[in-house]
Structure formats: C-alpha cells, structure tokens
Structure 1
Amino acid sequence: MPKVSYCSVFVDDQERALRFYRDVLGFALKHDVPMGPHRWLTLTAPGDPDGAQLLLEPDEHPAAKPFKAALVEDGIPLTAFEVDDVHGEVRRLVDEHGVTVVQPPSPAGPVTIAVVDDTCGNLIQLFSS
C-alpha cells in the first residue's frame, strides 16, 4: 500500500521558507542538502522525525508561480496542517511572529479553520477539531 512520504510546497525563497516553517510553525529540519543553486530541504512534524516530510521546493517551474498566484487570488490554501488548538495557534503566530492571518479561526463543520500567509507565496490552512 502506498503512503505519504513527501508533500511539496513550492516556495519563492527557500531560506525564508525554512525560517517560516521551522522557526515560526515549529516543523523540524530533516534534510538540508545543496543541489546546485537550490537545496533538498525537508522538514517533519515536531516529534515525528520518521513521519511524512514537507519538501520546500523552489517554484521555478513555469507552471508553479501562476498556479500559486491563482490560488492566493481566490483565497485557496495550498495545504492544511492540523494543530491542537487553532485559536491558540493563531494567537501565538500573530503575537510571537507577526504572521498575517488571511482568515481568522472560523467554524467549518466538525473543525475550526484559519488561513495564514507563509511569506513565500502561499496560503496555509490550520485546523483543529
């Protein structure tokens, strides 16, 4: 049976993305391997070093930037991350890191969702049940 090993997030600046996903959201660095002008840059959820990896991939493919821009223009998050308490996490992100909240915590059926700007050209949804 297949399993999720990697999930790509196309970013316009790998170093800025690393700072956001590691230092702000709290993901743990797994691999940082130079690859020409870029890096194989992956992170895992805190406390889960053998879990699925988030790949911070350069958005240099010609389709990546227009795709990202269209999603942002329509307010559609690129991906979603589960958190224990979306209200508390959004407060922490704003108070400690000045993160831009695009959609404050809102009920959505059985979960509460919020959307934030990752500073690298993407909207990211956070949710908790």
Structure 2
Amino acid sequence: MTVSLSGVHVLVDDPDAALVFYRDTLGLTVRNEVAHDGFRWITLVTDSQPEITIVLSQPHAGRSREDGDALAALLAKGELQMIQFRADDLDATFEKVVAAPGAEVLEEPANRPWGARDAAVRDPAGNLVRIDQG
C-alpha cells in the first residue's frame, strides 16, 4: 500500500491578494479556479511537484456561518497551520517575497541550529509561510 500527499488547503480572506503572493511572487501555477455562492477556490501547483495541489479558499466557503466565523477569527490572529516551501535560491526568493504587497517578514534567511537554512514570512492573509533552501 502506498500513500502520498495530494494537496493542502490554505485559508485566505482575499483571494486576489493571495494570488499575487502565491502565483505572482512565489511562481506557482493556477491549475483551476471555481466560483460558487460568492466564494472562490483556487488550485495552484509548483512546476517541480505538479501532482501536489495547494488550494486557496475563504473561511466561509462551503462551511456554516459559525464555522466560517471561527476559522476567520483564527486566520485574523495568524493561528492556522503554516505552509512550508523549498526554494533552490532562498535569498532570491526572499527578496521577491519582501517586495510582495501584504507580506510581513518574521525571520530573514538564516542558518538554523537543526541544519536548515530558512526564512519566515506571513502571507497577505496572515498565514505563516516558511521557505527553506533546497
């Protein structure tokens, strides 16, 4: 039996701002976009791992008002799980991220005691995004 990762979901409050960050800044490719009942789901992939999808969706999309409100509150506080990327050139990627509208630098690129070289930012929705050197 083989199990592999097929996708992750990232909640965003503004799909257009998220597209600027994930597509235009990080270079992901939009594979699909679905609009329904005033909400959008945007599926992106990386060139190096096109079989793994990243789905951007809004907190209230496909959820009850109560659940959407709870998720929106966690998103606003930056309390949702992080997403982690690997870049072949961390410094160049970090420079692009720093220039992205709405991105917040948390940690500049540095060598970590556990052996990784990485950086941390918040995307325009407040999600923690770590990028390490591949």
Which TM-score applies when normalising by structure 2? Answer: 0.79
Tell me the residue number matched to 1:106: 110
What amino acid is aligned across from residue 84 of structure 1 in structure 2? D
What amino acid is aligned across from residue 112 of structure 1 in structure 2? R
Tell me the residue number matched to 1:39: 40
Distance 1:2 1:113 in 2: 28
After superposition, the Cα gap between the structure-2 partners of 1:70 and 1:93, relative to the gap in structure 1 and judged at 3 Å, is closer
Tell me the residue number matched to 1:123: 128
- Residue 64 (1) aligns with residue 71 (2): yes
Moved more, 20-29 or 106-115: 106-115
After superposition, the Cα gap between the structure-2 partners of 1:79 and 1:58, relative to the gap in structure 1 and judged at 3 Å, is same
What amino acid is aligned across from residue 32 of structure 1 in structure 2? E
What amino acid is aligned across from residue 116 of structure 1 in structure 2? V
- CA deviations 1:100-121 (Å, max 9, x no partner) are 3211012222211111121112
- Residue 53 (1) aligns with residue 53 (2): yes
Unaligned runs of 5+ in 2: 61-67
Distance 2:132 2:28 in 1: 16
What amino acid is aligned across from residue 55 of structure 1 in structure 2? V
- Aligned identity (percent) is 27
What amino acid is aligned across from residue 117 of structure 2 in structure 1? T
Distance 1:65 1:34 in 2: 19
Distance 1:57 1:83 in 2: 24
SS in 1 for 2:93: helix
Deviation, 1:70, is 4.5
Across the two proteins, how many residue pairs are aligned to each other? 124
SS in 2 for 1:4: coil
Backbone CA RMSD of aligned residues: 2.2
After superposition, the Cα gap between the structure-2 partners of 1:18 and 1:92, relative to the gap in structure 1 and judged at 3 Å, is closer
Distance 2:55 2:41 in 1: 7
Distance 2:95 2:23 in 1: 18
Unaligned runs of 5+ in 1: none
